[in-house]
Structure 1
Amino acid sequence: MAIQSTIEASAGKFTPATRRVADLIRENPAAVLEMTISELAAACDTSVASVVRFCRTLGLSGYSQLRMSLATELGKESAQFGAGMTLGAEIAQSDTLQEMAAKVASLEMLAIDETVSGLDFAALERVVAAIDKAERILLFGIGASQFVAQDLHHKLFRIGRNAFLLSDPHEAWTAALLSPAGTVALGFSHSGTTADTVRYLEIAREAGSLTVGLTGSPDSPLARAANECLVSRARESRLRAGAMVSRIAQLAIVDCLFLGVARQRYDQTVDALKRTRDVTHPR
């Protein structure tokens, strides 16, 4: 996983001191290339030891490896998307609309690329097989994550799968508790810490359902509550009322899931799509 995406996914592990290091790098990742470890620590109002702890939280040996990894990553991104990417994920107040649009587009393309290239395809195959055989499919997310759940529900429902989109936590918990054998319960949360969604998966798992978590944090409570975990990679801007880049990353997983399920019964899927298109777009 890219270092900048790893920082996003590791947000829940940071202490206040290491979070200040993460915030500075998110604001301007190129700063690491220009500062010594002592200068970075001073800029973050923390200690050299905290910077080292930050690096180890990311799975790196130390500051030198962080600098090398970021230099490589920023070089690739600059070659692919232009030098604007080296400014990091944040949208600056001074950015024009064109610059903001270019940054968001670049981050969304990066998110799709990193998500698909980092997918656990063995897990994806198992989830596809489970959904294909499922007697009931439950989908639940809160806030922006519900839009992602809604998209998968729409796709599955349109090809005749027994899918239910749950919008209320109590409704979700009840459905999870009373699920029949052969139920697959999918929970959507980019942070992986949304308490109601985690509880929904815990109840579903205790009831004997196969639980699937779609999250940006593989070490999160949601991931631990899931039998199978599909991880998205995204770098969000602070200027967001809801998920932007992370939503695109999760939608990429949703599309892969749907195509996998559709392939299982190809002729039946094509027929269902044609018939539903005909009834919703009459001549």
Structure 2
Amino acid sequence: TLGLAGFREFKIALSGEIERRKLSGELAERAPSEAVDTAPRIAILSSALQNSISVSARGFDDLQISGFANRIRAARCVELFGTGPSSVCADILAMRLICLGFPAHCSGSATVSHALARGLGSLSLAIGISSRGHTVETKDFLAIARETGAYTIAITTRVDCPIARTADEVVLFTSAEAWPQAGSAMHVPPLVLLSEYLCQCLQMAEV
């Protein structure tokens, strides 16, 4: 009825909603202050960001991330795409993969990324990042890549969203806000955690 695939997805969605209510001020009186000299608004933002990282960490599936790492190892090409702040997340993961010696690439241009996606194939991996999962350019990127036979992974906060329905696999995280303002980077910290953990898996012996 809720459109969630299982209990793990329900926990992620519920935890994310709690943190978003804290951020909006509905539960501001419960948000712990980090220090007596911390401005209340900063304390609330800091608490929301830290909690979104913690909730995402608890929701990440270790076996899924290990499988994600194995797909990167096996891929001849890893193409990443996101728009706005999600493009920053794609850049961060791409750079980490490149520094580890993997053939990763990320373009901030939808036109370029869509053109590159048409050149992928069965030995390629396409990763689309979108906080709310409604970005048309990201959905189209994954759809084009999937048509070529590439394995597609959507990284988003919602299991029932356009990019999740377009991809072969969905990696869920929790954002600190439900309806981010244009340009907001509130969902970036949990994705930095995912990027670093994924790269740790890549540096370990293959599972």
What TM-score comes out, normalization by structure 2 length?
0.82
CA contact (8 A) 1:136 1:184 kept: yes
Match of 2:175 among 219, 224, 234: 234
Structure with the largest fraction of helix:
1
Q: Distance in 2 between matches of 1:250 and 1:217?
A: 14
- 1:133 and 2:74 correspond: yes
Match of 1:5 among 9, 12, 16: 16
CA contact (8 A) 1:111 1:245 kept: no
CA contact (8 A) 2:125 2:152 kept: yes
Give 1:82's aligned residue. Answer: 32
- 1:209 and 2:150 correspond: yes
CA contact (8 A) 2:19 2:52 kept: no
For residues 21-32 of structure 1, the aligned pairs below 5 Å read: 26-29=24-27
Give 1:262's aligned residue. Answer: 203
CA contact (8 A) 1:104 1:245 kept: no
Match of 2:118 among 177, 180, 183: 177
Q: Distance in 2 between matches of 1:26 and 1:100?
A: 10
Q: Say which SS state the counterpart of residue 187 (structure 2) adopts.
A: helix
Match of 2:50 among 90, 106, 109: 109
CA 1:167–1:239 in 2, change beyond 3 Å: closer, same or farther?
closer
Q: Distance in 2 between matches of 1:243 and 1:263?
A: 34
Match of 1:119 among 60, 63, 66: 60
CA contact (8 A) 1:135 1:181 kept: no
Alignment RMSD, CA only?
Answer: 2.9
Output the amino acid matched with 2:159.
Answer: P
Q: Distance in 1 between matches of 2:198 and 2:181?
A: 27
Output the amino acid matched with 1:210.
Answer: Y
Higher relative contact order (CA 8 A, sep 6+): 2
CA contact (8 A) 2:118 2:144 kept: yes
Structure 1 alignment gaps of length 5 or more: 10-22, 31-73, 85-95, 266-283
Say which one has the larger Rg.
1
CA contact (8 A) 1:236 1:243 kept: no
Output the amino acid matched with 1:132.
Answer: R
Q: Cα offset for 1:121?
A: 2.5
- What do residues 118-158 of structure 1 show as CA deviations (whole Å, max 9, x unaligned)? 11223222211100111000010001000000001111111
CA contact (8 A) 2:19 2:48 kept: no
Q: Distance in 1 between matches of 2:182 and 2:137?
A: 20
CA 1:26–1:103 in 2, change beyond 3 Å: closer, same or farther?
closer
Seq. identity, %: 23
Q: Distance in 2 between matches of 1:218 and 1:239?
A: 18
Q: Distance in 2 between matches of 1:239 and 1:179?
A: 32
Q: Distance in 1 between matches of 2:191 and 2:184?
A: 10
CA 1:180–1:205 in 2, change beyond 3 Å: closer, same or farther?
closer
CA contact (8 A) 1:145 1:189 kept: yes
CA contact (8 A) 2:81 2:106 kept: yes
Q: Say which SS state the counterpart of residue 245 (structure 1) adopts.
A: coil
Structure 2 alignment gaps of length 5 or more: 1-10
Q: Say which SS state the counterpart of residue 177 (structure 2) adopts.
A: coil
Give 2:5's aligned residue. Answer: none
Output the amino acid matched with 1:118.
Answer: G
CA contact (8 A) 2:156 2:173 kept: yes
